Amino acid sequence: MLQASVYELFAWTCFCMDIRITVLALLLLLGGMSSLSSPQAPLLEKVFRYMDLHQDEFVQRLREWVAIESDSVQPVPRLRQELFRMMALAAEELRGLGASVSLVGSGSQQLPDGQTLPIPPIILAELGDEPEKPTVCFYGHLDVQPAAQANGWLTDPYTLTEVDGKLYGRGATDNKGPVLAWMNAVGTFRALEEDLPVNIKFILEGMEEAGSVALKELVAREKDGFFSSVDCIVISDNLWVSQRRPALIYGTRGNSYFMVEVRCRDQDFHSGTFGGILHEPMADLVALLGSLTDSSGRILIPGIYDHVAPVTEEERDMYSAIELDLEEYRNSSQVKTFLFDTKEEILMHLWRYPSLSIHGIEGAFDEPGTKTVIPGRVTGKFSIRLVPHMNLSVVEKQVKQHLQYIFAQRNSSNQMAVSMVLGLHPWIANIKDPQYLAAERAIKTVFGTEPDMIRDGSTIPIAKTFQDIIQKSVVMLPLGAVDDGEHSQNEKINRRNYIEGSKLVAAFFLEMVQLQEVAGTSP
């Protein structure tokens, strides 16, 4: 009776959907595809055992990588040399795993002050070229944000320090630890003299924190070359929304960054001599910036919400299922009160609604002490995080029209100029793609729980680049916990996340193989 109903469902669904995906979905629903079939379970057990026994070696390798001050943000020759050293070390590591490695030169970077600095090479590496196997491409970056112990670190940021199972160091979670987790997985199969379940490709860059200079051009050039055989691209450059429960990420916000300048003259004024007789640029700018949002965080720019994708019932259910302890989240964030009271409202305003943030004012007096100066020219900096269906050019037009209207109301004799200096699109994936199913099942195998299906409020431009240019599925498989502190002081990755993350990558390889085998058996 059960078999008959299953076959009826199978026939009807095949009529409506792609047959291969249908077979996979039905087998998942019926439990006919256990999490790793019996021939693979012993292999995975052996892989996990090896990783447990060699975890100190994995940590030591991370210690060596963290020690390299691969800061791409500060345009200093010494740090560029460190970046080149980091890329060379990673290339050497990949060659040791048996990969064929190319270091693709990216030319030089012209800085605003006229200085020219070399751009570190991008690594393209390949292991395996067997047509019957799926081909997984991993993207990662090896550069880091600036860090100094004097800026609030409890330890030297470039000396990996373990405290209570937490591995502190710049780049530990963003992104050296996750990159090494992928290499640990490959290296474990090699050490056990086991055949690598998938063909794997690595694309590693050293300029992500500085805008991924030259990367988009390389991806476009290699669309029909390096990327031609790729089945999916995996990025592990994000965090869970929990300290304990793993996550899969299926969307990120875009970003439009604006500068608004108000100018009276290029020289500053003495407030005793000129105060009270002119339109002060700072007063104009404060009024402009103050007009962008209200006290509840809602953006006041007319029309800005018109093209935001509507919330579906399925999406609401997904937000309800996400594990988030609001009290723990507040404590770990060191924020007394958020703008919203419920988990669902907070997550939606983090991920699927636009937000506007004011970042700073250039040209203003910001040093300690008292200085009675009226700045002659000031520039405000703010950005809007974009969500699906929002259009960059429309947003740019809306922002400029709003600021021009507000400025006109002040009847100021100053000059105002607005420019959008950065425009990055949002990205969203289809969570029904087979690669997401493989990642979900691998998480359940390693961590014993279903993952949170989440978005990320930040912007990862390379995901949209891969999706648009290569037109292959992009999967975000984060390994770090919510409290890892990427970009901030005392960045860390938990030893558990690092080691179990290495296991997760290995399990993902095997799940990808199973997906291909099941799809291949369909009529």
- Binding site, annotated residues for Mn(2+): 141, 174, 209, 237, 487
Burial class (CB in 10 A: 0-12, 13-18, 19+), 85: middle
Rounded Cα–Cα distance for residues 437 and 430 (Å): 11
* Size of the chain, expressed as the number of residues it contains: 523
Phi, psi of 3 (to 5 degrees): -60, -40
The answer to whether the beta carbons of residues 17 and 479 sit under 8 Å apart is no
Tokens 């300029």 belong to: 207
- Tokens found for residue 120: 């570190």
Which residues are catalytic, by number?
Answer: 143, 208
Residue 154: closest CA among 166, 138, 144: 166
Q: What is the DSSP string of 279-325?
A: --HHHHHHHHHHTSB-TT--B-STTTTTTSPPPPHHHHHHHHHS---
Helix, strand or coil for residue 54? Answer: coil
Q: 105-110 contacts: CB < 8 A, separation 24 or more? A: 106/207, 106/213, 106/214, 106/218, 107/214, 109/75, 109/213
The answer to whether the beta carbons of residues 451 and 476 sit under 8 Å apart is no
Q: How far is CA 137 from the centre of its chain?
A: 16
Residue 350: closest CA among 479, 253, 430: 253
The answer to whether the beta carbons of residues 119 and 215 sit under 8 Å apart is no
Helix, strand or coil for residue 492? Answer: strand
- Tokens found for residue 465: 């680049």
Rounded Cα–Cα distance for residues 438 and 135 (Å): 13
The answer to whether the beta carbons of residues 507 and 5 sit under 8 Å apart is no
Q: What is the DSSP string of 96-149?
A: HTT-EEEEE---EEE-TTS-EEEPPPEEEEEE---TTS-EEEEEEE--B----G
Tokens 């009675």 belong to: 372
Q: What is the DSSP string of 159-191?
A: S-EEETTEEESTTTTTTHHHHHHHHHHHHHHHH
> Is there a cis peptide before residue 151, judged by omega within 30 degrees of 0?
no
- List the 166-168 sheet strands across, edge first: 161-163, 166-168, 492-494
The answer to whether the beta carbons of residues 424 and 385 sit under 8 Å apart is no
Rounded Cα–Cα distance for residues 497 and 501 (Å): 5
Tokens 């103050």 belong to: 290
